[in-house]
């Protein structure tokens, strides 16, 4: 019996040793990048969401790699540099999306499998119609569904209730949108987009609920350095890559983070190995700082903290951030840079071309951890790849081009060891005094400016202007009030001499009028006194460019008439400029030519435009049927005009007393 136990123990030991040997042999036969990426995508790391146990394990693994390579901790004796992190615990959050169909059936979508909430919204609940058009004039009252991160600057002026977008990566969405909480943004799967898009005619509305608690926790970046051995003072090159990923739901990974961004981390690690080996023999022209950032997927929190700290440590710095590179289904390599870093980006591009890496021109619209450095007036770029598609978690590792990653490592090695690419070569050429920094203002600064200018304009009467120091830059700026809305016909008639408003149209009563006058900026005085309100002249009928009238009933439904006086030689075709998303249909009825403008798949998006002559003068009229709604204590009107009811609508327009309405206005 004793001998049998000995034999069993021996067999177990032999099997264990053999298995261990196989693992080591297998790992030795793998490409170094594959080893790194498999480690980082290990299921025990739970997709590396910041604030989770898996993220902490990934951090510990990275610290071990830095130590094995021989890097020096950036501060103190630890590679981990802690910072305060905003965290939403995925095990406690309750987030749901439901598509409610016209037949009252419901299609449910699941958090972290079908979609991710990528904005810091803690509490949100709303039900709304869906629109697939960013140009939808009523998008502020709907949930916007987009299949890519097309230019989103329009959302700075009129946000939808929520944004559902299939953008493969959060980096494609501007930072100013990711950091706001007014409009939730959901990054949705291709399957969810297809379901919503194809079934949109049957979907009455979408219901979005977000219930989660914001927590403040301590998270850490992992930072190591190779010190310069040459006579370079206070110069540093930061090689960065974020190691956190999106997270999971009930242990089902939304993404295992192989492409985003274990690939970038692997390039950073392999570059660190080669640079450390070279530093033993050859001089390194600047301090090289290797930064594995945390919290990138939740607002670049780790890089923001590090950029703020390193700013005072060096005289000349630039950052090269590596994010989502090496996918086999990639397009070209992209170097993302805002205007101060264009010279740096051009230099990187030239080196990359020597290594047969195809690089396209700067794309400053993409976000990345480099933006944290730009915010603090430090040069930074992100190197990434245009991704045609992101494979599913189970396929990610098989879809990585390790040779491409090696090419990037070798190109960066050439760059950072060449003294002609030292940071001072770029900052000398491009840096400006901090109050005149040359990169595009952030959208956060733009919103400050916009809010400030709106408040100033609200204090003015029609035709007045004021010059003030803008809150974001301190530079003088002038606002001129060229439009005003009146809720009383008496108020309007007293404001503009000779103007009258028809009190009733059909069964509707006057509700509001918006008057737009021409801009008199050419008459502003040369050296105005700051904050003094100037009145050029009292607005007169001859100054009016357009008038919009709204008539409603007690239920808030009604009509909207936008009336524009036209020069004698003008016509409808050259007066309107519609976006590409709009369709225009010409219809002749009742001896009049109508232009019907609408959005595809949205029945209630019709605007009817036509010319009319009154007393020898020509006018352009835009007509909508509307419904009054209240948004944040403001009265708004949404479009109810249906393309499917165009024949009835045209008959109704033909019965309107338009000549009388225009004669009363006197325009």
pLDDT block averages, 10 residues each, the chain of length 667: 40 40 57 93 86 94 97 95 93 94 94 87 94 86 83 75 80 69 88 91 94 94 90 83 77 68 96 93 88 92 94 90 82 72 83 84 67 85 71 57 93 89 62 40 60 88 90 77 94 91 96 93 88 88 94 96 85 54 85 89 86 93 92 82 94 96 95
Question: So what's the pLDDT on residue 7?
Answer: 41
pLDDT at 460: 93
Same domain, 556 and 653: yes
For residue 111, list its beta bridge partners.
115
- Return the CATH number at 404: 3.40.630.10
- Give me 599's structure tokens: 């959005």
Out of 151, 182, 212, a domain closes at 212
Question: Is there a single domain that holds both residue 191 and residue 170?
Answer: yes
Instruction: Say whether both 148 and 246 belong to one domain.
Output: no
Residues 557 and 430 in one domain: no
* Residue 373 vs residues 293, 303, 319, 378: alpha-carbon distances, Å: 13, 8, 8, 5
Q: Are residues 237 and 279 in the same domain?
A: yes
Question: Would 35 be classed as within a structural domain?
Answer: no
The pLDDT of residue 454 is 86
Who's near 558: CB < 8 A, 6+ residues apart?
508, 511, 550, 551, 552, 625, 626, 628, 637
Assess contact for 384 and 324: CB atoms under 8 A: yes
Q: Is the residue at 476 inside a domain? A: no
Closest CA to 370 of 266, 221, 241: 241
Report if residue 529 sits inside a domain: yes
Number of compact structural domains in the chain: 3
Q: Which of 212, 233, 260 is the last residue of a domain?
A: 212
Residues 195 and 246 in one domain: no
- Three-state SS at 201: helix
Are residues 325 and 399 both part of a single domain? yes
* CATH number, domain with residue 105: 3.50.30.30
DSSP state of 362: P
Residues 510 and 594 in one domain: yes
Within-domain flag for 503: yes
Report the pLDDT value the prediction gives residue 475, as an integer from 0 to 100: 76
Give the Cα separation of 261 and 244 in Å (integer): 8
* Assigned domain for 444 exists: no
pLDDT at 331: 61
161, 187, 212 - which closes a domain:
212
Beta pairing, strands 617-631 & 80-88 = unpaired
- Do 592 and 614 belong together in one domain? yes
Alpha carbon distance 40, 54 (integer Å): 10
Contact in structure between 293 and 221 (CB atoms under 8 Å): yes
Indicate if 223 and 208 belong to the same structural domain.
no
- My answer on whether 204 and 243 are in the same domain is no
**Residues of the domain holding 566:** 482-665
Shared-domain flag, residues 646 and 616: yes
Q: Is residue 446 part of a domain?
A: no
pLDDT for the residue numbered 553: 96
Q: What's the confidence (pLDDT) of residue 337?
A: 72
Q: What is the pLDDT of residue 17?
A: 40
């Amino acid at each position: 019996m004793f001998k049998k136990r000995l034999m069993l123990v021996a067999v177990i030991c032999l099997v264990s040793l053999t298995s261990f040997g196989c693992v080591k042999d297998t790992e030795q036969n793998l490409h170094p990048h594959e080893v790194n990426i498999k480690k980082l995508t290990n299921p025990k790391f739970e997709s590396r969401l910041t604030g989770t146990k898996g993220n902490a394990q990934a951090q510990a693994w990275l610290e071990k790699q830095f130590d094995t390579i021989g890097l020096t901790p950036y501060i103190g004796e630890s590679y981990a540099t802690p910072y305060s992190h905003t965290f939403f615990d995925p095990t406690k959050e309750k987030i749901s999306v439901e598509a409610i169909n016209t037949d009252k059936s419901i299609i449910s979508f699941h958090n972290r499998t079908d979609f991710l909430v990528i904005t810091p919204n803690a509490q949100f609940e709303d039900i709304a119609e869906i629109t697939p058009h960013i140009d939808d004039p009523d998008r502020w009252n709907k949930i916007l569904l987009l299949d890519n991160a097309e230019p989103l600057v329009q959302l700075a002026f009129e946000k939808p209730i929520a944004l559902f977008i299939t953008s493969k990566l959060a980096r494609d969405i501007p930072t100013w949108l990711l950091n706001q909480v007014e409009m939730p943004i959901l990054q949705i799967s291709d399957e969810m987009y297809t379901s919503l898009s194809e079934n949109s005619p049957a979907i009455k509305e979408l219901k979005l609920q977000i219930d989660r608690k914001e927590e403040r926790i301590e998270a850490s970046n992992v930072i190591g350095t190779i010190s310069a051995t040459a006579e370079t003072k206070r110069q540093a090159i930061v090689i960065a890559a974020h190691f956190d990923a999106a997270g999971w739901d009930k242990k089902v990974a939304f993404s295992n983070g192989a492409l985003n961004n274990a690939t970038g981390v692997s390039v950073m690690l392999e570059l660190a190995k080669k640079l450390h080996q070279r530093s033993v023999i050859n001089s390194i022209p600047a301090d090289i700082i290797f930064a594995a950032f945390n919290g990138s997927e939740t607002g670049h929190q780790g890089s923001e903290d590090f950029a703020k700290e390193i700013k005072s440590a060096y005289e000349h710095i630039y950052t090269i951030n590596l994010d989502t590179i090496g996918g086999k289904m990639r397009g070209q390599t992209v170097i993302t840079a805002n205007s101060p870093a264009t010279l740096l980006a051009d230099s990187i591009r030239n080196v990359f071309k020597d290594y047969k890496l195809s690089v396209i021109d700067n794309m400053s619209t993409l976000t990345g951890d480099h933006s944290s450095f730009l915010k603090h007036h430090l040069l930074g770029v992100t190197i990434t790849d245009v991704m045609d598609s992101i494979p599913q978690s189970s396929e990610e590792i098989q879809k990585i081009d390790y040779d491409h990653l090696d090419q990037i490592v070798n190109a960066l090695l050439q760059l950072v060891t060449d003294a002609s690419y030292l940071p001072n070569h770029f900052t000398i050429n491009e840096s400006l005094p901090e109050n005149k920094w040359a990169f595009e203002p952030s959208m956060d600064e733009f919103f400050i400016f916009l809010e400030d200018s709106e408040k100033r304009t609200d204090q003015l009467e029609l035709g007045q202007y004021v010059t003030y120091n803008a809150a974001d830059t301190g530079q003088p700026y002038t606002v001129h009030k060229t439009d005003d809305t009146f809720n009383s016909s008496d108020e309007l008639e007293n404001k503009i001499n000779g103007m009258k408003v028809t009190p009733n149209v059909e069964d509707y009563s006057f509700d509001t009028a918006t008057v737009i006058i021409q801009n008199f900026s050419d008459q502003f005085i040369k050296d105005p006194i700051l904050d003094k309100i100037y009145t050029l002249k009292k607005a007169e009928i001859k100054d009016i460019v357009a008038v919009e009238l709204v008539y409603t009933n007690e239920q808030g439904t009604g009509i909207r008439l936008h009336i524009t006086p036209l020069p004698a030689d003008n016509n409808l075709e050259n007066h309107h400029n519609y976006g590409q998303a709009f369709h225009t249909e010409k219809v002749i009825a009742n001896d009049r030519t109508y232009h019907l403008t609408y959005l595809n798949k949205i029945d209630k998006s019709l605007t009817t435009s036509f010319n009319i002559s009154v007393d020898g003068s020509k006018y352009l009229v835009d007509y909508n049927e509307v419904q009054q709604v209240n948004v944040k204590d403001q009265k708004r009107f949404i479009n109810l005009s249906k393309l499917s009811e165009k024949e009835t609508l045209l008959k109704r327009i033909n019965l309107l007393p338009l000549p009388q309405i225009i004669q009363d206005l006197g325009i």
